[in-house]
Amino acid sequence: MDGTSSILFVGDLVGGLGRRTLLALLPAIREQHAPSFVVVNGENAAGGLGITPKIADELFAAGVDVITLGNHAYHRREIFPYLQRTDRILRPANFLASQPGHGSCVVERDGVRLAVVNLQGNVFLRSGRVAFSEIDTILEQIGDGADHVLVDFHAEATSEKVALGWYLDGRVTAVVGTHTHVPTNDARVLPGGTAYITDVGMTGPRGGVIGVVKEQAIESLRTHMSVRFETSEDDPWLMAVLVRCAARPRRAEAIEPLLLPWR
């Protein structure tokens, strides 16, 4: 294993605009940063909610190594069998065992094995098991079967994400937060060597309210009446982080946010 591996992790793709933004910007990002692995959160990829087999296939064809999900994993029924049979698409590992899919996988490039784990928070989100104990079990299962480990922690509360970062510091390469769709300004390598950010942000319309047409979100909040939400098409950005892995297993050298407008 060399010390030059790096991971591009892309925050929640929102709708067709989010997908188009990723596909449009990925070649230039590859050219500039040459990431060894590309991991994308796709829980909002299908019209803002969930993901379909066709969209997942499209992302894999574009060179995405692993797709992670979150609380919208099951919005589209047609994805259930796909989640069962496809290794490289993950729903949170701490869902109930009876729920379709699985929560971790290992991918390999140039002799470097990257384990990706998807976890969901327990504060304000419904998850079958506690994320903190689940990750202990998974790391034990992975054993020495991976050189690096990336955890996508899909959670609402910043406190819960910060706590998991500390809990895993020195045990995994990176803990990256998703779900709020708003990037946080706290990317850093923790003292034990784990790259951490509370939220990567989203890839999609920055001109909306976390992906929704802003007028509709405001109307809903202002009137407390039922408002039909549509995905905004306004001001697409790609929000991601680039994690540079250390030569030492399961440690990071650097984490750098990438916040890029498209068009």
Assess 113 for contact with Fe ion (CB under 5 A): no
Helix and strand numbers (H, E) in the chain are 6, 13
Q: Segment near Fe ion (CB under 5 A), from 42-50, 51-59, 160-168, 187-195?
A: 42-50
Token reading at 106: 């290992």
Query: Which residue lies nearer to Fe ion by CB, 73 or 172?
Result: 73
Q: Segment near Fe ion (CB under 5 A), from 29-37, 55-63, 98-106, 175-183?
A: 175-183
SS3 (DSSP) at 45: coil
Site size with Fe ion, rule: CB under 5 A: 6
Cβ within 8 Å of residue 109, ≥6 positions away: 5, 36, 37, 65
Q: Active-site residue numbers?
A: 72
Closest alpha carbon to 193 in 169, 224, 227: 169
Taking CB under 5 A as the criterion, the residue among 12, 65, 134, 156 binding Fe ion is 12
Taking the complex as a whole, how short is the minimal distance between the CB of residue 249 and Fe ion, in angstroms?
30
Taking CB under 5 A as the criterion, the residue among 5, 21, 36, 44 binding Fe ion is 44
DSSP bridge partners of 261 = 237
Total Cβ atoms within 10 A of residue 143: 7
Q: Segment near Fe ion (CB under 5 A), from 35-43, 45-53, 74-82, 156-164?
A: 35-43
Taking the complex as a whole, how short is the minimal distance between the CB of residue 34 and Fe ion, in angstroms?
27
Assess 179 for contact with Fe ion (CB under 5 A): yes
Which residues in the chain belong to E strands, given as ranges? Answer: 6-10, 37-41, 66-68, 89-90, 104-109, 112-120, 148-154, 174-178, 188-189, 195-197, 204-205, 236-245, 252-261
Taking CB under 5 A as the criterion, the residue among 70, 101, 201, 204 binding Fe ion is 70
Question: Cα 145 to the chain's mean position, in Å?
Answer: 22
Taking the complex as a whole, how short is the minimal distance between the CB of residue 80 and Fe ion, in angstroms?
18
Assess 169 for contact with Fe ion (CB under 5 A): no
Q: Segment near Fe ion (CB under 5 A), from 43-51, 162-170, 214-222, 224-232?
A: 43-51
Residues interacting with Fe ion, by CB under 5 A? 12, 43-44, 70-71, 179
